[in-house]
């Protein structure tokens, strides 16, 4: 079963996060803001309605890794896919932000404050998604049951229909480009294009 990997020291925070997701009204806003990276009442209302029996999507059935002509690795559809299709979860090692090495391009900010998912350590397929300002994928946080425990995963879904063989993209978000030396210029569309130029 695919899952996030994290050390024993993070486990208590994960358990607390799951409790908050199940019953956000039991905790004060101040307390939630201390633990959660991106706090909003809207977020908790949406997460609280999720089905706890949800499981990770097997990405390999729908998409595959391939060599793009000029952007390094990428992910493309293996068949025609409809809008709303769940593509897969961003999986890997959950690590503190302070442990992220400069130049690590395969990270995603987690829901816990000061933690991120290092997707490349376990060769998570979704960590190879390239950036586009108007992407065909959206993202949502979902609570999955893994080994009897709830784990909050970032899941990608299609915002529009995609034909077989077409590349899948996400928007890395403005925070990603604040990381030095990852500077996005106005002409840049793809993150891998930037790294190709700097090689």
Query: In angstroms, rounded to a whole number, what is the distance separating the alpha carbons of residues 107 and 70?
Result: 22
Which pTM does this prediction carry? Answer: 0.81
- CATH superfamily for 11-173+185-198 is SET domain (2.170.270.10)
Confidence band, pLDDT 50/70/90 cuts, at residue 144 = confident
Please compute the mean of the pLDDT values over residues 124-135 and round it to a whole number.
85
Of residues 186 and 126, more confidence is placed in 126
Confidence band, pLDDT 50/70/90 cuts, at residue 192 = very low
Tokens 């486990």, residue located: 11
What is the structure's pLDDT at 177? 61
Segment among 16-30, 43-57, 66-80, 158-172 with least mean pLDDT: 43-57
Decide: 71 and 102 in contact? Cβ < 8 Å: no
Please compute the mean of the pLDDT values over residues 96-101 and round it to a whole number.
83
Domain ranges within the chain, ordered by starting residue: 11-173+185-198
Segment among 24-28, 54-58, 174-178, 193-197 with least mean pLDDT: 193-197
Decide: 157 and 123 in contact? Cβ < 8 Å: no
Decide: 63 and 77 in contact? Cβ < 8 Å: yes
């Amino acid at each position: 079963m695919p899952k996030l990997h994290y050390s024993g020291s993070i486990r208590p925070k994960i358990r607390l996060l799951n409790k908050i997701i199940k019953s956000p009204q039991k905790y004060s806003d101040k307390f939630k803001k201390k633990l959660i990276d991106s706090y909003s009442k809207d977020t908790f209302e949406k997460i609280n309605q999720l089905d706890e029996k949800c499981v990770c999507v097997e990405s390999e059935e729908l998409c595959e890794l391939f060599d793009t002509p000029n952007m390094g690795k990428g992910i493309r559809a293996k068949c025609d896919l409809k809008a709303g299709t769940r593509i897969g979860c961003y999986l890997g090692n959950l690590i503190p932000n302070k442990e992220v090495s400069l130049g690590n391009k395969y990270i995603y900010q987690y829901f816990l404050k000061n933690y991120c998912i290092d997707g490349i350590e376990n060769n998570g397929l979704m960590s190879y998604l390239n950036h586009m300002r108007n992407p065909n994928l959206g993202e949502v946080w979902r609570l999955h049951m893994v080994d009897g425990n709830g784990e909050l995963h970032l899941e990608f879904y299609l915002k529009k229909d995609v034909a077989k063989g077409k590349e899948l993209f996400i928007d890395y978000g403005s925070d990603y480009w604040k990381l030095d030396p990852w500077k996005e210029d106005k002409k840049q569309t793809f993150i891998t294009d930037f790294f190709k130029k700097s090689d």
